[in-house]
């Protein structure tokens, strides 16, 4: 299945939900947000939010500083 991730075409091998995507891409840490097709996905919905052919995901991480 092909989707767009942060503006690049990516082939996903087994992701069926946003949580699968996070695991497959080995996203770590708690300070990130995933936007799917222009809408932010709540973290409590990652297990049930499907990822479909042609979807666009944006992964945004937060970095602290001073």
For the stretch 18-61, pLDDT in tens is 999 888 888 877 688 999 999 999 999 999 999 999 999 999 88
Phi, psi of 48 (to 5 degrees): -115, -15
Beta bridge partners of 8: 5
Sequence ranges of the domains in the chain: 2-61
Instruction: Look at residue 66 in the predicted model and tell me its pLDDT.
Output: 61
pTM reported for the whole predicted model? 0.84
Tokens of 51: 């990822």
CATH of 2-61, one of 3.60.20.40, 1.10.287.1260, 3.10.20.30, 3.30.565.10: 3.10.20.30
């Amino acid at each position: 299945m092909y989707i767009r991730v942060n503006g690049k075409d990516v082939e996903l091998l087994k992701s069926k939900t946003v949580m699968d995507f996070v695991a497959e891409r080995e996203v770590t840490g708690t300070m990130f947000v995933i936007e799917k097709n222009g809408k932010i996905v709540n973290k409590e919905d990652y297990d049930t939010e499907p990822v479909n052919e042609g979807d666009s995901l944006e992964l945004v991480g937060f970095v602290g500083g001073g």
